[in-house]
């Protein structure tokens, strides 16, 4: 892709996020569950720590997806649109608790709004300690 095309995509993503009230950092499209998406806060299983249990994290993530918390391009994704690939515990030098991320491929890939030749192929979601999706990054090709 030409350099000007990347700028157009970044500008399109910025404009898309400005309308949605989110911020954009290149391929980062933060999404958060909110009352306007019809998602009410509920009690959920917590993320296991300090014992790391990837399957339990995957189960907590899928429960959040089932509540409509994973929103990509303004639409909540269902469990059938995801192929889970990885669970990460990322440790910062500034905080004691790790950040928990779940990476999933999208099936099928989704067209990027405003750039039909670009496809969203995967998503990485960040979970809080209560098991809610608090951030997501869309990966495009």
What pLDDT, in 10s, does the model give residues 4-50?
A: 444 434 433 433 433 333 323 334 433 444 444 444 444 445 787 78
Token digits for 51? 């014992």
Partners of residue 89 on adjacent β-strands: 100
Write down the pLDDT at residue 61.
96
Closest CA to 44 of 29, 22, 66: 66
d(CA 71, CA 136): 8
134 within 8 A of 126, measured Cβ to Cβ? yes
Q: Residue range 96-115: average pLDDT?
A: 93
Write down the pLDDT at residue 45.
58
d(CA 30, CA 95): 21
Token digits for 39? 């998602």
Write down the pLDDT at residue 116.
84
What mean pLDDT, rounded, does the chain reach?
A: 76
Closest CA to 135 of 37, 23, 50: 23
| pLDDT above 80 for 98 | yes
d(CA 39, CA 96): 30
Residue that has been written with the tokens 């869309």 in this structure = 138
Q: Cα 86 to chain center, whole Å? A: 13
Taking CA 62 as the corner, what is the angle to CA 59 and CA 66, rounded to the nearest 5 degrees?
A: 135
Write down the pLDDT at residue 49.
79
Token digits for 117? 């030749």
Question: Using one digit for the tens of pLDDT, what is the confidence trace for 44-96?
Answer: 457 877 888 999 999 999 999 999 999 999 999 999 999 999 999 999 999 88
pTM above 0.75, yes or no: no
């Amino acid at each position: 892709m030409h350099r000007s095309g990347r700028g157009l995509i970044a500008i399109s993503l910025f404009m898309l996020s400005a309308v949605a009230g989110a911020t954009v950092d290149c391929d980062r499209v933060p999404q958060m569950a909110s009352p306007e998406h019809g998602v009410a806060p509920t009690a959920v299983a917590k993320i296991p720590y300090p014992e790391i249990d990837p399957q339990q994290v995957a189960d907590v993530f899928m429960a959040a997806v089932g509540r409509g918390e994973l929103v990509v391009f303004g639409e909540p994704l269902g469990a059938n649109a995801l192929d889970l690939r990885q669970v990460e515990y990322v440790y910062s030098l500034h905080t004691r608790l790790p950040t928990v991320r779940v990476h999933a491929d999208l099936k099928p890939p989704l067209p990027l709004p405003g750039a039909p030749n670009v496809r969203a192929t995967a998503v990485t979601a960040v979970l809080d300690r209560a098991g809610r999706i608090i951030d997501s990054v869309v990966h495009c090709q």
